[in-house]
């Protein structure tokens, strides 16, 4: 119940943030503007619109998660409002989980609205979307949850700017971890190879949530793939939130 | 005083815009000239795939638009397409399901750059991720027929790829006709027989062995029909009228079809075999069902009639029922087609 109260408050606070509306505006503008690129693509306008729509949902969703997420705990400390919360009979982990849930709710609304805008726009322009498009949007949301959990963890550990830089770097590297297991033959038998392969399993592999190509080309997605990707994201997010709760327990506020 | 300020502002704005327009034109010219060099700085496609931060589809789209721009610029200019195959390979690496890039890239490479090796390499690379797309083997066949027509074995290769296109079950009817015609013209039945015999004897999978045995039986039926057809033509030339029954042209009218079919003469005097006709029914049915599914995906509802497939430009024509006395029965409520 206390977690829900914090989540509700976080959601209301984030909804009032002007940054949110600026980002949603740019995301919607990207979706509407995608038609212009389609005109010069030899009959691939719908494919390009779907690609850009999913990219806009992913990129602007991540920016929202980073800008809002890394500020979540720090803002409460900076404005000293955290003392009025922590002096109540509330465990610190409840505060962290509530904050994260509030942001997850906000992201759910943002992803839902942007997906609906993209779907209606594609429909109005004569395109038809397959279930892969909606599954791609679902996996993007799951990726955003993982990024949010990382942002909340860093919010409890570092300053917002440093946290934002680390989360953004993790976002880029998280899409490139496959390189660690596809090493050239020069790495065979070296310690570096073992270290990089270990890193592959430690770092979040965000490319598992990326099925935009399949969605844009109408390629069917195996339900078991989606289930495994959701399971992977859920476990990783839960681990990051546990670490965030532990980090906040030890924080001197 | 106010008027003077306005004039000064106008002069400043005019002079500045003239200068910026001049520099912009200069920059545009430099950028076009440097475009080929820009491509040199793009990382290897294997690396690029990893560093698109989940935006590989969008990067592929942007590169495809660049590729179209690059092709049209050089088409109107020096007709050199040095980087075309590199760009297409990079795009398809980023988005392996982007069939139009394989297809148009293959056409551009073969028709404009006259690099049939690169064209076939690109088209072949698209088949494993898109095994049900008939366009890719079809375009490879076209490269063999057009670019390599003077090379030995080109017709056989074209026939083999056309057969592969037909085997996807999604190819239009005319592709199946071209494939059959090419095979007849080049007398490729020996090659086909050798291929199916090898598969029937040595393939590890029982299903594939059974399929090859069936194909061998159908090949025999096709040859038998051709043989009887020639006999019917000779009969017509000799007597001045077409044969009324198979007994008029052969002593062995009760030929055994191992697939359980029978031979007969149709109303035009052509020799037909029910096993071969049933095979044609299955193929046409597959094309129609695929087209009906595409219609539903596109329009959101089943077509009202099969003619709607033509009016919506999903099919160029509705395939004729292989049996002359039958027609397709279609249920618009369920989208089901009954032969």
pLDDT band for position B143 (cuts 50, 70, 90): confident
pLDDT of A105-161, one tens digit each?
Answer: 999 999 999 999 999 988 888 888 888 999 999 999 999 999 999 998 888 888 888
Say what the pLDDT of residue A112 is. 93
Contact predicate B97/B91, CB 8 Å:
no
* pLDDT (average), residues B60-87: 82
Q: Which helix (H) or strand (E) holds A173?
A: helix A160-174
pLDDT of B98 higher than 80: yes
Q: For A128, which of B52, B60, B298 is closest by C-beta distance? A: B298
> Which range has the worst mean pLDDT, A84-88, B46-50, B223-227?
B46-50
For chain B, give the percent of residues with pLDDT over 70: 87
> Which positions in chain B touch A219 (Cβ < 8 Å)?
97
Q: How far apart, in whole angstroms, are the C-alpha atoms of residue B220 and residue B193?
A: 9
DSSP H stretches of helix in A16-130: 18-38, 45-69, 72-78, 81-86, 92-124
Contact check, Cβ <8 Å, A175/B297: no
Q: Please list, in sequence order, all residues whose beta carbon lies within 8 angstroms of the beta carbon of residue B171, skipping any fewer than 6 positions away.
A: B134, B138, B165, B287
> Which range has the worst mean pLDDT, A60-64, A94-98, B75-79, B108-112?
B75-79
Chain B contact for A216, CB < 8 A? yes
Chain B contact for A51, CB < 8 A? yes
Tokens 């695929």 sit on residue: B290
Contact check, Cβ <8 Å, B61/A47: yes
Query: Would you tell me how many other CB atoms lie within 10 Å of the CB of residue A81?
Result: 11
pLDDT of B203 higher than 80: no
Architecture (CATH level 2) of domain B43-209: Alpha Horseshoe (1.25)
CA angle in degrees (0–180, nearest 5) for B269-B273-B276: 125
pLDDT of B253 higher than 90: no
Mutate to test the interface with A, among B50, B52, B58 (most CBs of A within 10 A): B58
Domain of residue A80, residue span: 2-249
Contact check, Cβ <8 Å, B68/A41: yes
CA angle in degrees (0–180, nearest 5) for A240-A241-A242: 90
Q: How far apart, in whole angstroms, are the C-alpha atoms of residue B247 and residue B245?
A: 5
Tally of structural domains, chain A: 1
What would the two tokens of residue B149 be? 């027509």
Q: Which helix (H) or strand (E) holds B309?
A: helix B307-311
What would the two tokens of residue A194 be? 């073992």
Higher pLDDT, A88 or A159: A159
pLDDT of B282-300, one tens digit each?
Answer: 777 877 887 888 788 777 8
Q: What does the domain layout of chain B look like in residue ranges?
A: 43-209, 278-338
pLDDT of B121 higher than 80: yes
Contact check, Cβ <8 Å, A217/B98: yes
Q: Which helix (H) or strand (E) holds B338?
A: strand B336-338
Q: Please list, in sequence order, all residues whose beta carbon lies within 8 angstroms of the beta carbon of residue B210, skipping any fewer than 6 positions away.
A: none
* pLDDT (average), residues B226-237: 85
pLDDT of A189-226, one tens digit each?
Answer: 888 888 988 888 888 989 889 888 888 888 888 888 99
What would the two tokens of residue A135 be? 């599954």
Q: How far apart, in whole angstroms, are the C-alpha atoms of residue A81 and residue A74?
A: 10
Q: How distant is the Cα of B26 from the closest Cα of chain A, in angstroms?
A: 25
pLDDT of B145 higher than 60: yes
Contact predicate B56/A206, CB 8 Å:
no
pTM of the model: 0.64
Contact check, Cβ <8 Å, B57/A41: no
> Which positions in chain A touch B136 (Cβ < 8 Å)?
none
> Which range has the worst mean pLDDT, A55-59, B185-189, B329-333?
B185-189
> Which positions in chain B touch A178 (Cβ < 8 Å)?
50
Chain B contact for A44, CB < 8 A? yes
pLDDT of B254-281, one tens digit each?
Answer: 667 778 888 888 887 788 888 888 888 8
């Amino acid at each position: 119940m206390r977690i829900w109260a914090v989540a509700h408050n976080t959601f209301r606070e984030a909804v009032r943030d002007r940054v949110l509306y600026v980002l949603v505006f740019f995301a919607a503008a990207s979706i509407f503007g995608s038609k212009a690129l389609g005109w010069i693509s030899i009959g691939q306008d719908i494919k390009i619109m779907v690609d850009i729509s999913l990219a806009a949902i992913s990129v602007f969703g991540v920016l929202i998660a980073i800008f809002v997420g890394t500020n979540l705990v720090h803002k409460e400390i900076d404005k000293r409002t955290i003392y009025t919360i922590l002096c109540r009979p509330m465990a610190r982990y409840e505060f962290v989980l509530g904050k994260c849930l509030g942001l997850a709710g906000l992201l759910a609304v943002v992803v839902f609205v942007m997906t609906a805008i993209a779907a209606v726009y594609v429909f109005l322009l004569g395109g038809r979307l397959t279930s892969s498009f909606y599954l791609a949007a679902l996996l993007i949301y799951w990726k955003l949850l993982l990024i949010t959990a990382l942002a909340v963890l860093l919010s409890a550990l570092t300053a917002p700017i440093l946290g934002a830089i680390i989360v953004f770097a993790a976002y880029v590297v998280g899409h490139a971890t496959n390189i660690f297991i596809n090493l050239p033959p020069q790495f065979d038998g070296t310690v570096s190879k073992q270290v990089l392969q270990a890193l592959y399993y430690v770092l979040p592999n965000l490319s598992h949530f990326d099925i935009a190509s399949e969605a844009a080309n109408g390629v069917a997605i195996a339900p078991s793939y989606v289930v495994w990707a959701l399971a992977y994201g859920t476990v990783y997010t839960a681990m990051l939130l546990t670490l965030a709760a532990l980090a906040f327990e030890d924080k001197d506020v | 005083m106010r008027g003077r300020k306005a004039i000064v502002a106008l002069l400043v704005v005019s002079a500045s815009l003239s200068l910026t327009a001049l520099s912009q034109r200069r920059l545009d010219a430099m950028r076009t000239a440097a475009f080929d060099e820009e491509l040199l700085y793009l990382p290897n496609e294997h690396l690029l795939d990893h560093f698109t931060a989940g935006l590989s589809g969008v990067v592929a789209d942007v590169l495809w638009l660049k590729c179209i721009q690059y092709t049209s610029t050089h088409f109107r200019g020096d007709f050199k397409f040095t980087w075309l195959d590199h760009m297409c390979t990079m795009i398809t690496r980023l988005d392996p399901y982007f069939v139009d890039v394989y297809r148009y890239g293959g056409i551009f490479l073969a028709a404009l750059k006259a690099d049939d090796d690169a064209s076939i390499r690109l088209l072949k690379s698209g088949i494993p991720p898109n095994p049900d797309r008939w366009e890719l083997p079809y375009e490879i066949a076209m490269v063999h027929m057009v670019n390599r027509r003077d090379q030995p074995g080109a017709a056989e290769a074209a026939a083999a790829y056309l057969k592969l296109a037909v085997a996807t079950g999604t190819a239009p009817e005319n592709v199946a006709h071209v494939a059959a015609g090419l095979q007849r013209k080049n007398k490729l039945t020996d090659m086909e027989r050798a291929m199916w015999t090898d598969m029937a004897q040595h393939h590890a999978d029982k299903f594939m062995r059974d399929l090859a045995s069936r194909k061998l039986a159908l090949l025999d039926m096709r040859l038998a029909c051709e043989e009887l057809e020639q006999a019917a033509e000779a009969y017509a030339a000799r007597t001045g009228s077409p044969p009324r029954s198979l007994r008029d042209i052969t002593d062995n009218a009760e030929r055994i079809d191992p697939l359980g079919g029978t031979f007969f003469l149709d109303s035009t005097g052509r020799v037909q075999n029910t096993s071969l006709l049933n095979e044609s029914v299955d193929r046409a049915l597959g094309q129609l069902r695929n087209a009906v599914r595409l219609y539903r995906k596109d329009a959101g509802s089943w077509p009202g009639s099969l003619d709607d497939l033509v009016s919506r430009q999903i099919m160029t024509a509705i395939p004729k029922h292989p049996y002359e006395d039958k027609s397709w029965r279609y249920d618009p409520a369920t989208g089901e087609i009954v032969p």
